[in-house]
Structure 1
Amino acid sequence: MLVHQFLSATAARMPHKVALVCGARRVTYAELDAMANRVGHALVEAGVGRGDRVAIHLHNSVEAVAGIFGALKAGGTFVFINASTKLDKLKFILNNCRASALFMDERVVGFQDLWGDVPSLALGVSCFSKRPAAGRVRTFEEIQEAASAAPLPIVNIDLDLACLVYTSGSTGEPKGVMCDHSNVDFASTSIITYLENREEDIVLGVLPLSFDYGLYQLLMTLKFGGTLVLERSFTYPALILQRIQEERITGFPGVPTIFAMLLALDRSSFDLSSLRYLTNTAAALPPSHIADLRAAFPGVTLYSMYGLTETKRTLYLPPAELDARPGSVGIPIPGTEAWLEDESGRRLGPGETGELVVRGRHVMRGYWESPEATARRYRPGAIPGERVCRSGDLFRTDAEGFFYFVGRQDDIIKSRGEKVAPKEVENVLHMLPGVLAAVVGVPDPVAGQVIKACVVCTGAPLTEAEVIAHCRRHLEDFMVPKFVEFMAELPMTSSGKISKLGLA
């Protein structure tokens, strides 16, 4: 199935069902499909064709969703760029993918700042603007008033690119992960299968659509025929709890920082009984937070998961295993394989630590016009012509084949000749009530590196001595932090992950 058929097929089956709730707006499947058709016709009229890239630089909104599906209906490839991306990086991404069209909020960045520096742009679509269309710029409202809502002809096959998802670029320039229609369709179906999604599900989307975890909440919900309640962010947690109560949310996808904030709130005045499941990925949930979430939401199913943009989702822990393996992120998602290898490519057994290698239809096509980076990450598989993905992340497995995240290869701290996985130290720190922590290595002339803990306390105040004493009770000497820095908040990436750049 092609990705835009997620919407059109469900619209044909249940046209009057609400597909999207965004602020005060409630949009049915038929209405959303017609909006996307109008966008598709406008793009084709502007010369956008099969495989051309259509960039969307917007916050979570109805216009952004219509832009995604309109680009696909025109035969193009959508590129969703976080709304907080500044001008220089925006120009880099637009030029890197040679975008033909751009959806943008001119209250944030004006098209006049881009035309001269992005020669590939043929069309600008101004959203949330009242000014009349002029030159190469059309307004979203004008497109909805003037363009045809008739279905567009299907011009793609499932091997064509559906989207480019640009990585954060924390170690260099952003790279566009190439996702074809079959990759997205397979990953969506696999995740829907183990989450047991149903048409009655109402899913909360607080993560940005530029983050693949946030994007897939949209794609999956439209595929299985549910309703997505799309919010800009989790900036005001109490308002989100109110939204869960009002809309009777059943599915709440989050990341560790969101769940830490959720646990710190007084939830007693909200009716959250509609929740059926919580999901976590981006970073592994500490076992202590898993225990706290289960206590706070006793009737709700919790899915602990692991993924990376290059494969979408990779591992999930069946909820029945949470009691026995709270520190595990599970087994391969349905229809896939995963294993561990050492630096020489030898497969590893239970208890050994090595790099996670992933095989399946969700292994993406590689990095956009970056063959060297693609060759490093995507390697030949056992079947001639097949490629597998080397994750760059270290894991170990238990005797039953369940995976446990150890750390990122480039995060490992070498102290006194020993290797320290920050995740192991962070898990111990998270045992302290109300603590959110990030651990980094600090250069040291004797030890090579020593451990620094950056700590946010949302509960009772702690001293450096108390934190270090707690670590000494649970960790080997070489793992105990030498420094503790208390912070008001930890720096975050746009996708809700802790950014460790500069913490050392």
Structure 2
Amino acid sequence: MSINCIRTLIEDAQVTHGDKIALVLNEKSMTYSELYTKVNQVAYYLNELNLPKDSRVGVYSNKGIEQVIAILAILSTNYILVPLTKLLKPEQIEYIINDCDIKCIITDKLKLQSIEEISFDGHIVSYETSDKQIPSFEEIFKYYNKPYVCDINGHNNALITYSFGVSGTPKGIVISHRNLIDSARVVSGYLDLKEEDVISGLLIFNLDYGLNQLFCTLYKRATLALHRFILAGDFFNHIIDDSVTIIPLMPINITQMFDEEMQRLPSAELFANVKTITSSGGNVTHKMISECKKLFTNANFYSMHGLTEAFRSTYLDPSQVGIRPDSIGKAISDVELYVINKDGKECGVREVGELIHRGGYIYKGFWNAPEQNEQRFKSIQILKDVINLEGQLTDEIVVASGDYVYKDEEGYFYFVARHDNMIKTRGFRVSPLEIESAVAKNIPQIEQCAIFSIDNELIEEEIIMVYSASSEIAPKEILFELKKHLASYMIPSRVIYKKSLPLIQSDKNKINIDELKKELEI
């Protein structure tokens, strides 16, 4: 067994900390020993399906202890985990299933109906026993009690996570077992996590930031307290009741916590146990940081910046958050960052260029996406005018991030813009083309459609839709239709009608977004 895999952490934890609480969800809890046993039972069952090596297995369900068991069970086999966020609609799930050829889906009763709406002929496993003759965890826990042994290599593919790319369809990024263990190691290090810590499991497990909370918990033999954010009051009760010490957030969560319409905030004394707050998935504002510090008076605030193609590039030390809140910080351990111009030369101080990520935590590449791989994963030769490449070694891969940044006099990085037109909202990356495609397919009355964003401090960017048609359509009708086909975070906040849209003179097939913004004074 490789030491560079999550499976090793599970095995070691049940030996050294078997009686310690690993997971908490409301009144339910599970020790490391109990977790190990149930993970083995599900992994044993999955192996008995006799799927080909490296088959993809999806997890499509609401958050819960069973979801964690499913994730860890798949990572204990030679299959590949594909997390499917519950926010996605059936047609989006169907795309992912077909794109990476998912052979099995683990789900719950609530999502069984969504799966039945699509054409999926693979294996289905449910957490609960249903009346549809579908195997369940309840049955597996009852009948599968044989010893389970596995052997996993760190360089093998472990996980494919999907995000939305410039092509308008989700693109899966392939992550190895070694990537997962490395990310847990580095985060546990710079956050100084301890085994007595209780980490809030607020984030969803569809992307690496959320999954990293689970892996850091295992790495340090800590406790993960799961929570589903619905109301801010419930979230505050979760922090108090579960004695949470580490709170990982996205900027949208901070906005939800301090909603101006919410009633009086709890006393800061109730949160004295909280020692660390982390934020990733978008830019945090000075207001967000200030509000967190007022309520969580003993907590250090870490602002972090990651890439789709690599787990993480930078973090801003808490000592600098008040001094330079707009900075994304400096490179994390084992990473070198460079800012280069279009000629491949290193940019000077405060000169904007593309961020190049070299060193650790680089993922293996995009699944079935050679164009994206060619665009983002580059030979080390891209830095030939910046660093000394002795020995003509060319096999090292770096990430050309597509993020445009600059560096100040003290070496701190600042994010400026994306190379493409991706929209960052509520912690998600959204492709305008994905929304435009949904409009074209499902609302034929609309002749032309433009999707773009404007700044919104509360959610980072606000999605705007402008369309032309023979006559105006009620915005409520458009949004009602789009909600059938798109995740909630992809729904435009404003819908604007125009008889005609401005076009780019050099390409009459493209809408002139800049001109459109001027016309609308946005």
TM-score, L = length of structure 1: 0.79
**Residues in 1 aligned to 2:215 and 2:130: alpha-carbon distance in whole angstroms:** 30
**Aligned pair partner of 1:96 in 87, 95, 99:** 99
The secondary structure found in structure 1 opposite 2:312 is strand
Query: Residue 91 of structure 1: CA displacement?
Result: 1.5
Residues 46, 54 of structure 1: alpha-carbon distance in 2 compared, 3 angstrom cutoff: same
Residues 20, 192 of structure 1: alpha-carbon distance in 2 compared, 3 angstrom cutoff: same
Matches within 5 A, 1:310-459: 310-382=309-381, 383-411=393-421, 426=455, 430=457, 438=461
Is 2:128 the counterpart of 1:125?
no
Q: In the alignment, what sits opposite 2:194?
A: 198
Q: In the alignment, what sits opposite 1:79?
A: 82
> RMSD in angstroms over aligned alpha carbons?
2.8
**Identical positions, percent:** 26
**Residues in 1 aligned to 2:94 and 2:463: alpha-carbon distance in whole angstroms:** 32
| Mapped contact 2:171–2:366 kept (Cα < 8 A) | yes
**Residues in 2 aligned to 1:71 and 1:501: alpha-carbon distance in whole angstroms:** 41
Residues 309, 23 of structure 1: alpha-carbon distance in 2 compared, 3 angstrom cutoff: farther
Is 2:162 the counterpart of 1:166?
yes
Match for 1:332: what amino acid? A
Q: In the alignment, what sits opposite 1:150?
A: 147
CA deviations over 1:402-437 (Å, ceiling 9, x no partner)? 111112223499xxxxxxxx99x95xx75xxxx666
Q: In the alignment, what sits opposite 1:108?
A: 111
The secondary structure found in structure 2 opposite 1:63 is helix
Query: Any stretches of 5+ residues in structure 1 without a counterpart?
Result: 414-421, 444-492
Q: In the alignment, what sits opposite 1:183?
A: 179
| Mapped contact 1:55–1:79 kept (Cα < 8 A) | yes
Query: Residue 502 of structure 1: CA displacement?
Result: 6.6
The secondary structure found in structure 1 opposite 2:253 is helix
Residues 372, 28 of structure 1: alpha-carbon distance in 2 compared, 3 angstrom cutoff: same
Q: In the alignment, what sits opposite 2:266?
A: 268
The secondary structure found in structure 2 opposite 1:375 is helix
| Mapped contact 2:6–2:177 kept (Cα < 8 A) | yes
Match for 1:150: what amino acid? P
In the alignment of these two chains, the number of paired residues is 432
Residues 172, 268 of structure 1: alpha-carbon distance in 2 compared, 3 angstrom cutoff: same
Residues 109, 151 of structure 1: alpha-carbon distance in 2 compared, 3 angstrom cutoff: closer
| Mapped contact 1:282–1:497 kept (Cα < 8 A) | no
Match for 1:130: what amino acid? S
| Mapped contact 1:35–1:149 kept (Cα < 8 A) | no
Is 2:26 the counterpart of 1:23?
yes
The secondary structure found in structure 1 opposite 2:112 is coil
Q: In the alignment, what sits opposite 1:475?
A: none
Residues 384, 499 of structure 1: alpha-carbon distance in 2 compared, 3 angstrom cutoff: farther
Is 2:256 the counterpart of 1:254?
no
Query: Residue 110 of structure 1: CA displacement?
Result: 3.6
Residues 102, 442 of structure 1: alpha-carbon distance in 2 compared, 3 angstrom cutoff: closer
**Residues in 1 aligned to 2:493 and 2:310: alpha-carbon distance in whole angstroms:** 23
Greater shift, 105-114 or 31-40, is seen at 105-114
Is 2:12 the counterpart of 1:13?
no
Is 2:239 the counterpart of 1:244?
yes
Residues 439, 79 of structure 1: alpha-carbon distance in 2 compared, 3 angstrom cutoff: closer
| Mapped contact 1:306–1:313 kept (Cα < 8 A) | yes
CA deviations over 1:97-151 (Å, ceiling 9, x no partner)? 1112110124333487278x335x2x2101234336x3xx311111111113523
Match for 1:118: what amino acid? F
**Residues in 1 aligned to 2:46 and 2:459: alpha-carbon distance in whole angstroms:** 46
Residues 500, 338 of structure 1: alpha-carbon distance in 2 compared, 3 angstrom cutoff: farther
Residues 182, 111 of structure 1: alpha-carbon distance in 2 compared, 3 angstrom cutoff: same
Query: Residue 291 of structure 1: CA displacement?
Result: 2.8
**Residues in 2 aligned to 1:58 and 1:349: alpha-carbon distance in whole angstroms:** 48
**Residues in 1 aligned to 2:117 and 2:357: alpha-carbon distance in whole angstroms:** 39
Query: Residue 263 of structure 1: CA displacement?
Result: 2.7
Q: In the alignment, what sits opposite 1:141?
A: 138
Greater shift, 362-371 or 322-331, is seen at 322-331
TM-score, L = length of structure 2: 0.77
CA deviations over 1:369-406 (Å, ceiling 9, x no partner)? 22221111111114411111122211111012111111
**Residues in 1 aligned to 2:488 and 2:317: alpha-carbon distance in whole angstroms:** 24
Query: Residue 356 of structure 1: CA displacement?
Result: 1.2
| Mapped contact 2:272–2:297 kept (Cα < 8 A) | no
Residues 145, 308 of structure 1: alpha-carbon distance in 2 compared, 3 angstrom cutoff: same
CA deviations over 1:6-54 (Å, ceiling 9, x no partner)? 2222122100101011232101111111111001110111113532211
Greater shift, 285-294 or 308-317, is seen at 285-294
**Aligned pair partner of 1:51 in 51, 54, 67:** 54
| Mapped contact 2:90–2:114 kept (Cα < 8 A) | no
Query: Residue 173 of structure 1: CA displacement?
Result: 1.0
The secondary structure found in structure 1 opposite 2:265 is coil
**Residues in 1 aligned to 2:186 and 2:491: alpha-carbon distance in whole angstroms:** 27
Greater shift, 101-110 or 354-363, is seen at 101-110
Aligned structure 1 segments of 4 or more residues deviating by more than 3 angstroms: 109-112, 168-171, 435-443, 493-504
**Residues in 1 aligned to 2:220 and 2:24: alpha-carbon distance in whole angstroms:** 16
Match for 1:81: what amino acid? L
Residues 225, 498 of structure 1: alpha-carbon distance in 2 compared, 3 angstrom cutoff: farther
Residues 267, 494 of structure 1: alpha-carbon distance in 2 compared, 3 angstrom cutoff: farther
Match for 2:220: what amino acid? F
Query: Residue 501 of structure 1: CA displacement?
Result: 9.6
Residues 497, 331 of structure 1: alpha-carbon distance in 2 compared, 3 angstrom cutoff: farther
Query: Residue 257 of structure 1: CA displacement?
Result: 1.4
CA deviations over 1:305-342 (Å, ceiling 9, x no partner)? 11123211211011122233221111111111111122
Greater shift, 319-328 or 247-256, is seen at 319-328
Q: In the alignment, what sits opposite 2:504?
A: none
Is 2:207 the counterpart of 1:211?
yes
CA deviations over 1:64-106 (Å, ceiling 9, x no partner)? 1111111121221111101232211111111211112110124
Match for 1:236: what amino acid? L
| Mapped contact 2:38–2:69 kept (Cα < 8 A) | yes
**Residues in 2 aligned to 1:304 and 1:98: alpha-carbon distance in whole angstroms:** 36
| Mapped contact 1:438–1:500 kept (Cα < 8 A) | no
